[in-house]
Amino acid sequence: MFLTRLGFGSQIVVTGDTTQIDLPGGSRSGLLVVQDILEGVEDVHFAQLTSTDVVRHRLVSDIVDAYSRWDAHQPSDDRLVPNRADRRAAAKPPQPKTSVMSIEICNESGVVVDESTIVSVARFALDAMRVNPLAELSVLLVELDVMAELHQRWMELPGPTDVMSFPMDELDATRRPDSLDDPESILGDIVLCPEFAKDQAKKAGHPLADELHLLTVHGVLHLLGYDHAEPDQEREMFGLQNELLDRWRADRAAAEARERQRAADSHVLGTVGLDEE
Q: Which residues are bridge partners to 141 per DSSP?
A: 107, 192
Q: Residue 28: which of 83, 87, 65 has the closest Cα?
A: 83
pTM of the full predicted structure? 0.61
Q: Residue 109: which of 150, 61, 48 has the closest Cα?
A: 150
CA dist 239 and 223 (Å) reads 17
What is the per-residue pLDDT for 5? 64
Out of 26-35, 90-99, 182-191, 194-203, which region has the weakest mean confidence (pLDDT)? 90-99
Domains of the chain: 17-91 (no CATH), 102-227 (3.40.390.30)
Q: How confident is the model at residue 43 (pLDDT cuts 50, 70, 90)?
A: confident
**Mean per-residue pLDDT, 183-200:** 86
Please state, for a pLDDT cut of 70, what percent of the chain lies above it: 70
CA dist 176 and 227 (Å) reads 11
Q: Kindly tell me if the per-residue pLDDT of 125 is higher than 70.
A: yes
**Mean per-residue pLDDT, 21-32:** 65
Q: Kindly tell me if the per-residue pLDDT of 79 is higher than 60.
A: no
Residues 226, 236: contact at Cβ < 8 Å?
A: yes
Q: H-type helices in the chain, by residue range?
A: 30-38, 58-72, 84-91, 115-128, 144-155, 194-204, 208-223, 231-271
